[in-house]
Amino acid sequence: MSKEIRSKTLAIFVVLAMVLSTMMVFNTLNFSPVRKASATIGVDEWQNSSSGAKILNMSTENIYYGKTVTVKFNGSLITEDCYIYKPNYNKTGGNYYGNWSLVSGSGLNASLAEPSVSLTLDRAGLWLVVPFDYNSVQKARYLSRVNMSNMSVYDPVDLRWEHIVGWFWVNSSSWTIELSDNKINYDHNDSVTITVKDGDNKVNVACWIDIWVLNGSKSTLVKHYYDDDGYLDISNDIYDLTHDNGAGIYQITAYRDVKPLQTNDAILSVYGDSSQYIGYNSTFGDVNAWSAVFHNHILDSDGNTVDETTWANTTYRYDTCGPFDPPEYWATPVNLTVEAGVPQLSIPDEYATRYWNFTGIVNITVKDYDGNNLTFDKQDVKLYNKSNKPTKSGATPIDSKYYNVSTGPGWIAIEPAYPEIYNYWGYNISTGYVWAQKGKVYVLVANGTMAGNASEEWNGTTYFTLATAPAVQIFMKNYLDKEIPEVPQMSNQPLYLYFQVVNRNHQYLGLSGGQYITISGNALFAEDGKTLDKLDGATYVSANHTWKVPITPTMALNGGTITISVDWPGNGTATETLTVGGTQLNGSIVSISPSEFVIGQNVTLTVTVSGRPNGYPYPNANIGLFYVNDTGKLVGPAIGWYYNNTMGDTNGQYSIFINETQQTTNQTYVDFDGDGVTSDTIISAPRYIAAYVHVTGVGYGYAYTTMKPKGDLKVEMSKDTFMAGQLTDFWVNVSVVDENGNKTGEPDDSGLHVRIYNSTGDDVTDSIGSLSTSDLDGSASIELNSEYFTEPGTYTVCAYNYTHTSNTTSGTYNATFTVIPVTVTCDKNEFIYKYDDNISATFTVTWQGNSVGNGTLRIFNISDATTYNQTWVNYSADPTAYIDVDVVNGIFTMHNITANLLPTNKGVRYITFAYEPEDSTVFANATGSIPVKVPDATPDPSEVALNEPANVKITVTGRGEPLEGVFVSIDGPGNLAMNGTTGADGTITFSFVPTATGDINIKVYNRSTGSKITVTAHTLNIDAPAQANEGETFTVTVKDENGNAVSDAQVTFSGTGETKTTDSSGKVTFTGTVSGTLPYMTYKLTATKAGYKSDEESITIVGVPQLYIEAPATVDAGSTFTVKVTSDTGAVYGVEVTFNGETKTITGPSGVTFTAPSSVTKETPYTITATKDGYKDATATITVKPAGIPGFELITLIAAIGIAFILLRRRH
């Protein structure tokens, strides 16, 4: 694009049009041109005339500041001589004035068809063609009176108004702007520099640089910089610039006005200074903007409104610089995008996971880039599901009616709307609508439009997770930050913990569950853990399902902790831990010794006080000793106060003497039961005495010691073993003993109590039989007749009064007894569902191995069905589902038992028993039970491999015997479903190919047996050499998919037909052979094991050629013989041959020679061996005979001929 064309692109930036904030006195002209209503001079109209025809016979493309151009005019419009006037303004004092001045030598001859004139374009803006005669021109160097309403000027010579013939626009010379970064973030200290260029080079002249913030069709000047060399670093202003004006699109332009005979300062001062925000207004003669500025009126030179009839005499006062004389240098505006800042959003770990279908607050900290708090409105916060991320096009947020948002400086809190009434996280209680899915929930925090535009100033995203709730949760209702900031002073002691315990089904653990909730840690009386049913003062408010637990926190060296632990049977466990003391460790560390003492004996207590820092011992603490009431509160009056600062030693230890009066009489001053009076207080033990400590600047602290009763009572019983339910006579005696356990007397009956405790220390006196506490109170000698116990167990019997007890640490002065139930056995160890039909069973009742004799046996979960006894029938649901039978000599036989009933989807239920002895009137539970169950099903194998053909044989048994005709089914992953009936051997085989991993359920009569076939993805992998030599042993290792050795796998080697089982390291060995003279043979190795996909690999056994020895079978002693060697492959050389200890090497076809031993006396075998690497060895046997008499063969021949001759002669 040419420089001239670029100049005209000023029109694009009409978006900068605005009303400037500062008015100056500016001698200007009223302007109301006659032209198309839609045209704007200098924006989309570059030339015109009073008649509407173009004034120029040329394009205005090259008409811009700084050029000298021959301008050609439309002669048809020049009907009289004209001159050209250029826009001009100046400043006098604080006033600006503007008009048009005559361009020297610009006369246009009306006689020419196309008048032209060479013009030096030293002004930008609106140039006028004005008709004047020569004499007029001499007196009209400036057009001081112009009526733009009819495009006319006043001729001061002829004293008349003349039409302005036409006008054309001279464009500014284009500069460009280069930004170091065209995108920055809101409220962030980003770095941005502005370079103003002319062509490729930076300008080195003074100029103005303006920054405008755009808002649709409106814009506002927000920065007006004076710059002396065309380079400006605005980094230090970025934070304030964006913070004050918001995110969005900012436009930056630069310009310079040139006026002859003026200095830079004078030129630049036209635009005020950097603080005035005057700037250049690019309305370029927009009449609408012009009129709006003046409220549709024109002002006179004094700023007064004039009416339209006097326009001819007005001086137009317009915004600085006016619309018709723009700067001579103008930079095409560039955009600087201020994107939304990213707030620093952080969700602490304790809030990062919330549980679906439960309540809970999500706390989010919100900071700017420098860590300063940001504050948002609640409507700035939106939630999105994981499937509808806010970054996703068209993402729709979760309806805000389902959650509440609260905000403050630096924080945002989100929770379900109307929690526990209408909504939990993700779930609407009233409608069942799921409004948030499990998984990530995105939080979009975005706000803005500070500048009135649609741009956001902040936009950030974080997320929290909605997870499946744990089986048990603890909801704290106070101390939500899990911190007790300090150990409280006595007036605020005890503190209370409020919490709920809830399971996944929104069921609460209430008052009956106190034994399942434990408080432990740094709290008085809970140091080693104490369940709520045994912690004094713990209460449960059923209306809001909340526990209220009193605690007195204590301090530890690095801060204390208090833990709430829940072990809810059938549900699960949970813990919650609170810290004590805060970051400043606000509290004193206190201990007291001895930890216990016996009432009535003078004692010196040692109280040790320390604290921050690092357990520093404090010798100047204030200490008070107080009794503790029944709710765990320290109550006065004090046993003693110790205020002096000299009592403690350098170890922080204080010795405090407590006499018998303080231990006893002082109790009568204390309201232990909280009823407001002390008259009912009884001197008793145990009592807790607490040390209350205060160290200035450190804090408060507590410790306690236990004042125990005297352990000088002893309990004896006449019987220590009882049959459950049997009526029994026995006695209980209580006596006073000395330290050696010798009886010294009897206690007073007044205030004396005997109690029975179970193995966990619970008082069960009233709940295990016929006895009650009233039977055991107020007497040291108790006779009991026809009493019974129904609950089996071992029990401890303890006696106590206000200050004495039998319950010593050793426990030797308590009595113990055991309640043992009868035992019921049956000759049928189980009843088989849908198999046992009208069978008989014999029940035997014994106690401690002996027959119980006669009595009544109650058999639960069985009922009389008229013609048979049916089981299993639920006694819990039907109280008639039992049968009472008479036991004679401990035995009863029941007939017609049919096991044809089990609850839906249940595979086993139990028959249980109670027994009433003949002389008793109460049943007690018996030990022993008989299952009513589906038959047992045992699969072989119990594991099969994925996608491997499987044959599983299931054996069905009852009472250890195979059962025929039983309906068996299997179902499992991959829509596997098969069924059938067992054969005579009690088995059934299913063949299938499993297509998915998981467990295949085995059912009998469509009820679970508890047995499964597991489909695994395990695979076997054979690790073996690719080849082995014939006759050599090679090793095969079998591994699973993870590379682990697999034992007990079956490996078959086709080379020998052998199958071997891998050892613990997964290994087996084989030896291969090759048939005949083949060079090699390839065999298969196959590995199998139940539950594993089999594997098969090949192994090549390389044949080893056999050597063969050629030698005589027999040789004479001392003779020489030849040995040759061949092989399966033919001739072979380099073979070592050994005979009689001598070794020779065959190097050719002639073989090697040996000499037989000469000293043999009888035929003797010798071995010849042949060896060569890569060949099988060969051996041969050669026999060496003794040597014969010399010539013996010839003598024998002569003798034979002689004998033959004699015989012939005799014949003749």
Encoding tokens for residue 512? Answer: 């009956």
Q: So what's the architecture of 340-469 in CATH?
A: Sandwich (2.60)
Pairing outcome for strands 1107-1110 and 1095-1102:
unpaired
Residue-by-residue DSSP string for 882-934? EEEEEEBTTEEEEEEEEE----TT--EEEE-EEEEETT-S--EE-B--EEEEP
CATH number of 713-811: 2.60.40
Nearest partner of 836 among 792, 872, 789, 790, judged by Cα: 872
Does the domain spanning 936-1012 belong to CATH 2.60.40.1930? yes
What are phi and psi for residue 30, nearest 5 degrees? -65, 140
Evaluate whether 912 touches 809 at the Cβ level (below 8 Å).
no
Q: Specify the pLDDT at position 306.
A: 40
CATH number of 589-708: 2.60.40.10
Cα–Cα distance measured from residue 731 to residue 771, given in angstroms and rounded to the nearest whole number:
13
Q: So what's the architecture of 174-282+327-338 in CATH?
A: Sandwich (2.60)
Cα–Cα distance measured from residue 890 to residue 917, given in angstroms and rounded to the nearest whole number:
10
Evaluate whether 414 touches 381 at the Cβ level (below 8 Å).
yes
At which residue do the structure tokens 């009544």 appear? 856
Q: Specify the pLDDT at position 224.
A: 87
**Residues facing residue 496 across a β-bridge:** 550
CATH number of 823-933: 2.60.40
- Where in the chain are the domains? 3-170, 174-282+327-338, 340-469, 473-580, 589-708, 713-811, 823-933, 936-1012, 1021-1102, 1107-1185
Encoding tokens for residue 198? Answer: 């002319």
Low-confidence ranges of the chain (pLDDT < 50): 1-38, 93-95, 261, 265-266, 276-321, 451-452, 1192, 1211-1212
Cα–Cα distance measured from residue 1165 to residue 1182, given in angstroms and rounded to the nearest whole number:
6
Kindly give the residue spans of alpha helices, DSSP state H, lying in 1002-1056.
Answer: none
SS3 (DSSP) at 714 = strand
- Rounded to 5°, the CA angle 166-171-175 comes to 175
Q: Specify the pLDDT at position 20.
A: 27
| Single-letter residue type at 431 | T
Evaluate whether 786 touches 917 at the Cβ level (below 8 Å).
no
* Long-range contacts of 1134-1138, Cβ-Cβ distance < 8 Å, separation of 24 or more: 1134/1172, 1135/1107, 1135/1170, 1135/1171, 1135/1172, 1135/1175, 1136/1170, 1136/1171, 1136/1172, 1137/1109, 1137/1168, 1137/1169, 1137/1170, 1138/1168, 1138/1169, 1138/1170, 1138/1171
Tell me the CB-side half-sphere exposure of residue 1136, using CA atoms within 13 A.
Answer: 8
CATH number of 473-580: 2.60.40
Give the Å distances, CA to CA, from 247 to 241, 459, 672, 973.
Answer: 10, 11, 68, 57
Pairing outcome for strands 1007-1016 and 166-170:
unpaired
Question: For the segment 675-722, what is each residue's pLDDT rounded down to a tens digit?
Answer: 889 999 999 999 999 999 999 999 999 999 999 999 999 999 999 999
Within 10 angstroms of residue 274's Cβ, the number of other Cβ atoms is 14
**Residues facing residue 955 across a β-bridge:** 938, 987
Go through the chain and tell me how many residues it has: 1212
Encoding tokens for residue 852? Answer: 């119980």
Nearest partner of 592 among 533, 530, 531, 639, judged by Cα: 639
Q: Is 323 exposed, middle or buried (0-12, 13-18, 19+ CB in 10 A)?
A: buried
What are phi and psi for residue 352, nearest 5 degrees? -70, -20
What are phi and psi for residue 364, nearest 5 degrees? -125, 130
Does the domain spanning 1107-1185 belong to CATH 2.60.40.1930? yes
What are phi and psi for residue 332, nearest 5 degrees? -55, 125
CATH superfamily to which 1021-1102 belongs? Immunoglobulins (2.60.40.10)
- pTM (2 decimals)? 0.56
Question: For the segment 231-286, what is each residue's pLDDT rounded down to a tens digit?
Answer: 999 999 998 888 888 888 999 999 887 765 455 544 555 555 555 444 444 333 33
